[in-house]
Structure 1
C-alpha cells in the first residue's frame, strides 16, 4: 500500500486535497480513485485512507480512522553525523531514518569538506528533512527523526549529553562495536571522509564517548553510520 507523509492535521472522515508536491507524488505512483493509501503526519500513528479523486492538478483523499501503529526502535538513538560531500549525506540521512534513528545532528568537523553559511545550512536542513520524510514513507515509520541545524562539533556535545551510552568509531580502538553497543539510549558520532582528527577524538572522549572499532576495514562515512546504527539496533533486540 502506498504511504504518503502529510505534515497536516489528519481528521478521520474528512476529505483532504493533497498539497501540490504530494499530489505529484501520488500521480507518479499511478494512484487511481478508490485506491487505498496510508497517510501519516509524523506525530505518531497512521490513517488507512482512500483516494477520492485524481485530476490533472488535484488529488483528494478520504481520511480514514487513526491507528496507533508505531515502528520505532525500543531505545532512543542519536546520530552525530559529519556532513559528507555530494550524495553521501543524503545516503546517511536516508539509511539512518530506515534504521530507526531518533535524532540526527549534522556536525562540521576539522576535515569536513562541505562549508555551509547560515542560508545554505537552513536550505540543506530542509532538504535532509525531505529525505527523511521520503524514507519514512518507504520504511513504514510514522515518526520523523528530528534533524538539528548543522553545528560545529564542539557545539554538539550538549545535544549528546542526555544519552548515557556514547560511541565513536576509531579503527585503532581495541573494543569492538558489537561488544560495546549496550541496548540503551545511545549517541553515535561518525566522522567525515577523512576521519576525526586526534584532537577531536580526544575531545569526544572527554565528553564521554567511547572509541570502538567496526572491523578490520576502513569504512566510508555513510557506510560507518549504517554499520553503527545496525549494531545499536541489534543490541536493542530489534534485529
Structure 2
C-alpha cells in the first residue's frame, strides 16, 4: 500500500525529526489514524520530497523522522500561467484543482466584465486561503512537489499589463484559429473568461498585448471545463503528456 503523501513545509535532512504542524498532524493522527512506525511521503512545496516514518503520534503531537530526501519529479517543462475568470463556489475549486493536476505553473483569479463574483477585504483573504488549500490537496494527490501559486485576484486589465510569456492565448468561442504548429515555448499565458464569455473589448485588449484567440472546437465549454481541455492540449503539444 502506497504511503500517504502530505505537504509539510520544512527543511528536510536525512535523520532529522520534524514536528508536524496542526493541520498535517490532525490529518495523520485523527483522519488517517496512523501510528508510530507508519510511513509517509512528504513534500515541501518548493520542489523536494522526503520519505519519513512516524516516531511519535498522539492527539496533540506527531513527529516524523526523515529517512530519504530527493528532488521532486512531477513538474512540467512547460510553464503555463492561467488567468481564470472567477466563478462561483465549486466551479472555481474544480478549475484550480484540475489545472494543478495538469501541471499549471501559476494561477491568477480574474475580475472580468461579465463575471459576477467580487471579493473584498476579509472575504477575499478567506477565499484566497481556500484556493491555496485546494492547490495543496491537488499536489498531494497528483504527485507534484512544488505548489503553484494562486495570486490575489486582479482585474483583467492589470493582469494583461504584466504578461511577457512567449505564447499568449485567449480562449474565445468565436475565434477562427486553432493552435498552430510551432516550437515548444518556454512559457504560456492562458486566459479563460467567465460563464458568459469575455466581452469583445476584453478580447481585443488581450489581442493588443499579443494574445492569439483560440477556439476549442465547435462546442462552447463551461468556464471550469475550458482549462482542463486547454491545458491538456498544451501539455500534449508542448509539455509532458
Instruction: Tell me, yes or no, if structure 1 residue 4 matches structure 2 residue 6.
Output: yes
Distance (Å, rounded) in 2 between the aligned partners of 1:180 and 1:227: 18
Matched, 1:33 2:33: no
- Tell me how far apart the structure 2 counterparts of residues 159 and 3 of structure 1 sit (CA, whole Å): 35
Kindly report which structure 2 residues correspond to 1:214-225, keeping only aligned pairs within 5 A, or say none.
214-225=216-227
2:78 aligned with 1:79: no
Aligned pairs for 1:115-154 (under 5 A) are 115-154=118-157
TM-score using structure 2 length? 0.93
Structure 1 length as normaliser, TM-score? 0.94
Q: Distance in 2 between matches of 1:215 and 1:79?
A: 20
Runs of at least 5 residues in structure 2 that lack an aligned partner in the other structure: none
How big is the shift at 1:56? 2.1
Q: Is the 8 A contact 2:128 2:150 kept in 1?
A: yes
Shift of 1:10: 2.6
Partner of 1:156: 159
Partner of 1:88: 91
* Counterpart mapping for 1:158-177 below 5 A: 158-161=161-164, 163-177=165-179
Give the conservation status (yes or no) of the 8 Å contact 1:78–1:160.
no
Q: Give SS of 2:67's match.
A: coil
C-alpha distance in 1, partners of 2:15/2:178? 52
Shift of 1:29: 2.1
The alignment's C-alpha RMSD in Å is: 1.5
Number of equivalences: 237
Check conservation: 2:78, 2:239, Cα contact below 8 A: no
Q: 1:64 corresponds to which residue?
A: 67
